[in-house]
Amino acid sequence: MFRTRSRLFVVGAALLVLVGACTTPSPPVPPPPPDLTEFHDQRIAFEPCGPFATTATDEKLFANKRLDCARVQVPVDYDNPGGARGQVAVLRIPASGNRIGSLFVNPGGPGGSGMNFVAAMAASKPLWTEGTLGQRFDVIGFDPRGVGASLPHLDCFTDAEDDERVTGLDSVLDQDSAAGEEQAREIVRRCAASAGGEDALTSVGTRETARDMDVLRAVLGDDELTYLGYSYGTELGGVYAEAFPEKVRALVLDGAISPGKTPIEMTIAQAAAGQESFTRLAQECAKAPDCPLGTDPARATERFQALTRPLADRPAPTTDGRGLSHADAVIAALAGMRAEALSPRFIKGLTELAAGRGDILLSLRDQITGREPDGRYNGTLDSFLAIRCMDWPRRTPAEQTDVLRRIREAAPVVDDGTPVEQSHHVCAAWPKPPSRTGPWLSGGADLPPTLTVSTTGDVATPHQAGVELAEALGGSLLTVEGDQHGVSLVGGNACIDDTVLAYLVELKTPPEGTRCVL
């Protein structure tokens, strides 16, 4: 039923998977009703994390005895808190020193697992366990509803189908009107069946996750929220802040989503940022005589297209037999530009592709789309779809076609050379209208000082978006010079980490104009 990778236009999907976020219209979240006391006062018991694992990767990470886990009950529908209940799964690194409180972490997406992210940090970054961060805070990673170990659960496609397509809001359904409508309806049927019905499926928007986060704050005993959000997590943090301004202690928002752009405008801006990152990468690569993109950066896009466009009809062979499609190569390119540490692997993959093989690029594609070594997917793509179908306006076929055309114009590196097809929006059959109808951040809340971290060469969330978010929140901005998506407390950069920790621990914001260099 679903289009194969050879003719699937996934540029927007790839960008959205990488960024984990875009702006979207929404009014401020209304305050919780008084009868949420039952949820705020519930008692939870932390236990070993092993039973909470949903992937092979989690099974290894969650075996860490330094971690403990629990489940928190939340209303599926906050307008009817006496009705069906969901569960938010929580993973904790208990503070090892003089505890300030909890630090809630969201890694982005939407659809990213906070449990997996925090467990990975515990395994690889001493700062998160025994360093200043781990000493002063219980570090909390949670799976938002629709994600990972939380309920409602989402599973819209089989692993085999995920191998053949990437689902995103700019994915192409069938050009034929009747067939496209049926595809959209089938997506809803599958997603609703996994979630437990249409009401559960339509409860997974960002507004509901922000309300869940306030329940978690109360259950864990924090009078105010201390929060670190990356990418889409900046949007979630901003939505929470406007819904519960009196409950905010500190917000670090890294890789910001612009509060002033529409989802379409942000998608185009992301495409342009991706092209700019590719140009910078090509300029660096061109210094080597064996650069697979050639020694003339001005022709690097042309060279990339020559390497990848044939894949739309003839995937490059890979060891596992799946093959590397054009869509796979595009996603691998965007993944390879997320961080300087990944760029050499991307260049090596292009060299391998020029020799006729696609294994390295396919591994990059798998890494960013959540494909586990055993062939199972971690559900990020399905969660992203369901969350954004409730966050963003649906497009007409004409609007969808125009978006796809504009993406190609902004980022020719992702253009497969085929005509842009008109199709139904993948959310067209969603059973309820989007829950947000205005700018997702109004900028009118009275907040304590916040800290936005924005990187100049971010391939997924343009630097200007961070400038705009800091202004909208009336907070501080830390500008980071470099090419990376997400930099706070993850890369060992003393300038960045010291600035962020001074804010989290002492609530000390950096002077205006502060800059760090990767």
236 closest CA partner among 249, 247, 227 = 227
User: pLDDT digits over 217-259, tens only?
Assistant: 999 999 999 999 999 999 999 999 999 999 999 999 999 999 9
**Residue 243 near residue 496 (C-beta atoms within 8 A):** no
What is the identity of the amino acid at 492? G
476 closest CA partner among 442, 443, 448, 437 = 448
User: pLDDT digits over 3-52, tens only?
Assistant: 433 333 333 334 333 434 333 344 555 554 558 999 999 999 999 999 99
**Residue 93 near residue 139 (C-beta atoms within 8 A):** yes
User: pLDDT digits over 280-329, tens only?
Assistant: 999 999 999 999 999 999 999 999 999 999 999 999 999 999 999 999 99
Count the neighbouring beta carbons within 10 Å of the beta carbon of residue 298. Answer: 11
Check residue 15 and give its pLDDT: 38
Mean pLDDT, residues 141-145: 97
Q: Is the dihedral of CA 95, 98, 99, 105 positive or negative?
A: negative
CA separation, residue 330 to residues 263, 271, 385, 403, 416 (Å): 21, 12, 19, 17, 9
Strands 68-75 and 85-93: antiparallel
Q: H-helix or E-strand containing 392?
A: none
55 closest CA partner among 193, 155, 124 = 155
d(CA 40, CA 138): 19
Q: What confidence category does residue 436 fall into, taking pLDDT thresholds of 50, 70 and 90?
A: confident
- Decide: helix, strand or coil at residue 317: coil
User: pLDDT digits over 374-412, tens only?
Assistant: 999 999 989 999 999 999 988 888 888 898 899 999 999
Print the SS3 string covering 273-331: HHHHHHHHHHHHHCCCCCCCCCCCHHHHHHHHHHHHHHHHCCCECCCCCCCECHHHHHH
From the centroid of its chain, how far is CA 276? 20
**Residue 151 near residue 86 (C-beta atoms within 8 A):** yes
Check residue 25 and give its pLDDT: 43
Strands 137-143 and 225-230: unpaired
Domain boundary assignment for the chain: 48-151+205-259+446-517
Query: How is residue 132 annotated by DSSP?
Result: H
From the centroid of its chain, how far is CA 445? 25
State the average pLDDT for the chain: 90
Say how many Å lie between the first and final Cα of the chain, rounded: 45
Tell me if residue 163 is catalytic.
Answer: no
User: pLDDT digits over 346-371, tens only?
Assistant: 999 999 999 999 999 999 999 999 99
Q: Which residues pair with 226 in a beta bridge?
A: 250
Structure tokens at 39: 């949820």
Catalytic residue, candidates 458, 476, 488, 497:
458
What are the two backbone dihedrals, phi and then psi, of residue 365, each rounded to the nearest 5 degrees?
Answer: -60, -45
d(CA 61, CA 120): 6
Q: Which residues pair with 90 in a beta bridge?
A: 70, 142
Catalytic residue, candidates 26, 150, 231, 325:
231
CA angle 18, 458, 205 (to 5 degrees): 40
Mean pLDDT, residues 175-192: 82
Mean pLDDT, residues 61-76: 98
Poorest-confidence range of 61-65, 148-152, 456-460, 462-466? 456-460
CA separation, residue 385 to residues 13, 165, 317, 401, 481 (Å): 10, 13, 29, 19, 32
d(CA 449, CA 451): 7
How many alpha carbons fall within 13 Å on the CB side of residue 115? 34
Poorest-confidence range of 33-42, 269-278, 353-362, 443-452? 33-42
238 closest CA partner among 506, 507, 514, 468 = 468
User: pLDDT digits over 76-127, tens only?
Assistant: 999 999 999 999 999 999 999 999 999 999 999 999 999 999 999 999 999 9
Structure tokens at 379: 């559900």
Mean pLDDT, residues 451-475: 94
Instruction: Tell which phi-psi region holds residue 276, choosing left (phi > 0), alpha (psi between -120 and 50) or beta.
Output: alpha
Mean pLDDT, residues 186-209: 95
Strands 248-254 and 451-455: parallel
The larger pLDDT score, comparing residue 220 to residue 164, is at: 220
Q: What confidence category does residue 168 fall into, taking pLDDT thresholds of 50, 70 and 90?
A: low
- Dihedral, CA of residue 388, residue 17, residue 257 and residue 421, to nearest 10: -70
d(CA 243, CA 132): 30
Check residue 174 and give its pLDDT: 55
Residue with tokens 């660096």: 284
Tell me if residue 102 is catalytic.
Answer: no
Q: Is the pLDDT of residue 272 over 60?
A: yes
Check residue 10 and give its pLDDT: 39
d(CA 503, CA 241): 17
Q: H-helix or E-strand containing 74?
A: strand 68-75
Tell me if residue 77 is catalytic.
Answer: no
From the centroid of its chain, how far is CA 160? 22
Query: How is residue 160 annotated by DSSP?
Result: H
d(CA 292, CA 295): 9
The larger pLDDT score, comparing residue 182 to residue 50, is at: 50
Query: How is residue 451 annotated by DSSP?
Result: E
Query: Topology of domain 48-151+205-259+446-517, per CATH?
Result: Rossmann fold (3.40.50)
Q: Is the pLDDT of residue 178 over 70?
A: no
Write down the pTM of the prediction.
Answer: 0.90
Catalytic residue, candidates 153, 424, 463, 485:
485
Check residue 428 and give its pLDDT: 87
